[in-house]
Structure 1
Amino acid sequence: MDKLGIAKKYLYDNDLKLVVMKDGIPLAISTDRGIKPVYDVYTKELHHLEGAYIADRVTGKAAAMLLSEAGIKGIYTDLISDAAIEILEQYPILVEYKKRVPYILNREGNDMCPIEKISRRVDDVEGLIKGIEEFFVQVGTTRRGAR
């Protein structure tokens, strides 16, 4: 089984939302939904991402921006947005997915995901992180500046 396949199998076998694998070892895992797992690894354990293989349930533009900036080698995702594919294709990143969509929907399924909206308004990772942190403050997920 290839390295991306190992990450994918670990994701499914353990009913996770995100797994970061290097050399067949899970370095970061999460059962949280949304951007939070990728944001947490990027802001708290960035060293785990360089050269890693990622398995994720949903990958929008924001996650693609963070993961590509961190230097991952490959990603498997169940659902990916067109904007995420565009970002990842700019790097030598292996990308596999189950379903591609124009954009990621919010949890109610009636509008674009708020993080996807934020990612479309910014051009760099610093602006993206600021937007995500402001969103977390609005929804009560974390306090401003907490990393």
Structure 2
Amino acid sequence: MTDLERAVALLHEGDHSVVLVRGDDVLVSDDRGVAPLVRWVDSGDDLSGFSAADRVVGRAAALLYVLLGVEAVCGDVMARGAVDVLSAHGITASHGTLAEQIVNRAGTGPCPMEAATAGIDEPSEALRAIKAKQAELRAHARA
């Protein structure tokens, strides 16, 4: 079984949100959205060569996967823009459902992280935009 196949199996067996696998190393998160990817980027750990299985992969997540240095990403749902980003960076992309865009949880418009990274192609710039949007959403949640 490949790392990617193992990541996909673990994603569904454990009902996780994201799983990364490289050989015997396995990282798992049940947190929603891009939060686990941001934490892993911020950790500074070398995650190059990992394969990732994720529930939902939009452009924002794809740009974070580029920063993480993964070699393959499989999304249950993946946006066309994510496929483009991953492919442009030499990352193998596979998916269940291919979506035009990732929508917000209410289903009323684009995902806030997708909106925050619209028009951004540089992964480190996307990370800054994502963190700013996360801070804005936290501030609104507290208000």
TM over 0.5: yes
Number of aligned pairs?
Answer: 139
**Which runs of no fewer than 5 residues in structure 1 stay unpaired?**
142-147
> Where does structure 1 differ by over 3 angstroms across 4 or more consecutive aligned residues?
none
Partner in structure 2 of residue 144 of structure 1 = none
Structure 1 Cα separation of the partners of residues 64 and 136 of structure 2: 21
- Report what 2:66 is aligned to: 68
User: Could you tell me whether the CA contact under 8 Å between 1:7 and 1:24 is conserved in 2?
Assistant: no
Contact 2:41 2:67 in 1 (8 A): no
Partner of 2:13: 13
- Which structure 2 segments of 5+ residues have no match? none
**Counterpart in 2 of 1:131?**
129
Q: Give the corresponding residue for 1:100.
A: 98
The change in CA–CA distance for 1:11 and 1:133 in structure 2 (over 3 A counts) is: same
Trace 1:51-62 onto structure 2 (pairs within 5 A): 51-62=49-60
Helix, strand or coil for the counterpart of 2:118? helix
CA RMSD across the alignment: 1.5
C-alpha distance in structure 2 between counterparts of 1:46 and 1:64, whole Å: 18
Distance 2:68 2:136 in 1: 26
Q: Percent identity, aligned pairs only?
A: 26
Corresponding residue number in structure 2 for 1:32? 31
Q: Which amino acid is 1:113 matched to? A: C
Structure 1 Cα separation of the partners of residues 121 and 71 of structure 2: 22
Cα shift at 1:106: 0.2
Shift of 1:11: 0.9
Relative to 1, partners in 2 of residues 1:124 and 1:103: Cα closer, same or farther, differing over 3 Å?
same
Deviation at 1:42, TM superposition (A): 1.4
Q: Distance in 2 between matches of 1:126 and 1:71?
A: 13
Distance in structure 1 (CA, Å) of the matches to 2:86 and 2:123? 14
Cα pair 1:62 1:119 within 8 Å, conserved: yes
What TM-score results when the alignment is normalised by the length of structure 1? 0.87
Per-residue CA shift, 1:1-44, capped at 9, x if unaligned?
22211110011111100111110431x21111111111111121
Structure 1 position 45, deviation (Å):
4.3
Q: Residue 91 of structure 1 aligns with which residue?
A: 89
Contact kept in structure 1, 2:53 and 2:75, CA below 8 Å:
yes
